[in-house]
Structure 1
């Protein structure tokens, strides 16, 4: 089903497609509405009810195509066929895909349908953790996605380097927009000044956080790839030495896709100083009551969470992976540690707790480092400029 469009017939048609609607919702919030000033915009994803809600908010058309996040050849072919006929009927000028499965389906269908401008944003490479035959399949899919695209936008410099090194496509087909990121950050919205001391105190009391406790926060999916196993182990060991600390975990478990071991789940559920909040649509209050972000992910594209935390005035402990090691500048707005290293996480957490001057200096620069490099409106304008170069 399509929402009625109030766009003028003279506007060119732009399609934005993601595998699941939450990516449109969280990774591109506000950007689709911004583009409606210049294009007749259609959002494509699965889950008709959720997709419709996003389309209404962003004031765009929508079309539902169910896609999976797993290797499902038959379902993927059906999705390609359905998208192909939609594109043949609607004749868009640009199709811009995000997320791996929407990338391959979108780029193949758009090329077959003769869409003139086919753009794909790479915001991460899940295949980096794959091995064996699965890795070989995903490598082929990645190359085919880029082959069918007119242009590919890695959303970090490190991601671009990985793509070139892996020989997925030629370097002249790649471009990082501004300093990276797919959507930038609304630094007015993500601002600790939006929350007064009374609000923060009430939330701390509700969660059982004492006034003199130091709060580490993680925001994201609670899965192995995000470094949760190492983070939980590091915190448990830290707490044995320092009792006035809390670990706040904000995000959903995904046991069906990337399960945590039972031992980690037991620690999360039973440890008195680990607080789990599950998925939260509004994460700002939790940043507002925390002292520092700990984000030991194994792989990322360009993590919004690190930018959000920085805009809220939080320094960050991040793993040395692309995206994270571009947002965080060592010793300026945070610290960078080795990947999959529980000891390094614990040591960094301990240093933040004990070295007050060091922590204070990082905190002082955290927000300004984000505002100066990743303001959302500048990213939107740069993406619009990219679209216009094709006409």
Structure 2
């Protein structure tokens, strides 16, 4: 059986962004998962029945460590002789494509699930631009996970259109709507969870899931919620995710507000977000940039309408007025108005709620996406044999 090497910077990406995908592919290839954090990666391998190999990768710019990673991965690839190497995340992308090229891997693929460099400027931006261009140059095919992201890549002239392909309707993994199903949670369960979290039963619950960092729009969300509370007191804000103050910190003022506001509830990182979606009424996701956000897919599958910013990925999953509301990036006022609208207008909220799950089932079912990716692998394999 041919070997398929899948590389991400950290195991969390394998666990969450590619959940189930490598296990599915192991029916067709000998799959090897590569990432940093040996202990967690090995656990992932056992849980998902795939082989693993640890390469220390970081999300920061670390030239010496990165060169060591390239040499280590190149040596591994030369021994393993895989047919395909397929990377995700920017750092894993450049390391994998360079190592794959040096080792002569026949099919080199990279998925783009967002461009962090869009929020960077100056010398650092120039370096990241060069890295991105080199990653795409060394790849045989690049998969942007949204149509808007593909357009951004073309505008930035990172690659020619012939090298780019969006799989299906977008996403990196689709969504399992049998797993994300609101029917699994009873009214009693939801009432108990609200009580445990100290949230009034009658409150409209706005939920955010993700890293609590500046580029996710957390500062705008907290400010909008604070303004909203004066007119709509029966509402709560539920924040699910870890703070990352070392990488992209939010201001001390907002931290204090989150900690001291009795109507803002935080849980930290949660491995299973479904119960929290089940007790929420609206997803608020005011991110500055995304690839194709899993959170918006998950919330939709759980029948939640979403308020999202007008950025790629978000504005492809959400149709304004059909399954959510789209607002401008970094606008506290627009976010507050949208939250008030969905909080006050029960009829509108009900209509968007009814549409939310149907849209996800129709366009983003996970098994459908896996079959599309497998077909892509097989077509590339076939074209290799005919060359």
Bin of the TM-score, shorter chain as denominator length? over 0.9
2:207 matches 1:217: yes
Quick one: which of 227, 238, 243 aligns to 2:233? 243
1:148 to 130, 133, 138: 138
Offset of residue 270 of structure 1: 0.5
Q: CA deviation at 1:106?
A: 0.3
Give SS of 1:92's match.
Answer: coil
| Alignment deviations for residues 46-88 of structure 1 (CA, whole Å, 9 cap, x no partner) | 1011001111111110000010101110010000000000001
Aligned residues: 381
**Which among 84, 95, 115 is matched to residue 105 of structure 2?**
115
- How far the C-alpha of 1:240 sits from its partner, in A, is 1.9
> In structure 1, what is the Cα distance between the partners aligned to 2:19 and 2:349?
32
Deviations 1:363-388 (A, max 9, x none): 11010010000000000000000000
Cα distance between partner residues in 2 of 1:189 and 1:310: 12
Aligned mates of 1:113, 1:190 — CA distance in 2: 40
The 2-side partners of 1:121 and 1:301 are apart by 10
Select the residue among 165, 175, 184 that pairs with 1:175. 165
Cα distance in 2, alignment partners of residues 139 and 162 from structure 1: 13
Alignment counterpart, residue 365 of structure 1, candidates 327, 334, 355 = 355
Between the aligned partners of 2:106 and 2:164, the Cα distance in structure 1 is 18
Structure 1: stretches of 5+ with no match in the other structure: 1-10
Structure 1 counterpart of 2:326? 336
What is the root-mean-square deviation in Å for CA atoms of aligned residues? 0.5
State yes or no: 1:297 paired with 2:315.
no
Please name the residue that 1:198 is paired with: 188
CA distance in 2, matches of 1:211, 1:224: 30
CA distance in 1 between counterparts of 2:138 and 2:184 reads 44
Q: Which residue does 2:384 correspond to in 1?
A: none
- The runs of at least 4 consecutive aligned structure 1 residues that moved more than 4 Å come to none
SS at match of 2:380: coil
Aligned to 1:72: 62
Question: Where do 1:243-282 residues align within 5 Å?
Answer: 243-282=233-272
SS of the residue corresponding to residue 314 of structure 1 reads coil
Q: Which runs of 5+ in 2 are unaligned?
A: 382-387
CA offset digits 1:327-386 (Å, max 9, x no partner): 001100001000011101000000001111111111110100100000000000000000
TM-score (norm. length: structure 1): 0.97
Counterpart of 1:386 in structure 2 is 376
Query: What is the match of residue 164 of structure 1?
Result: 154
SS of residue matched to 2:208: strand
Aligned to 2:300: 310
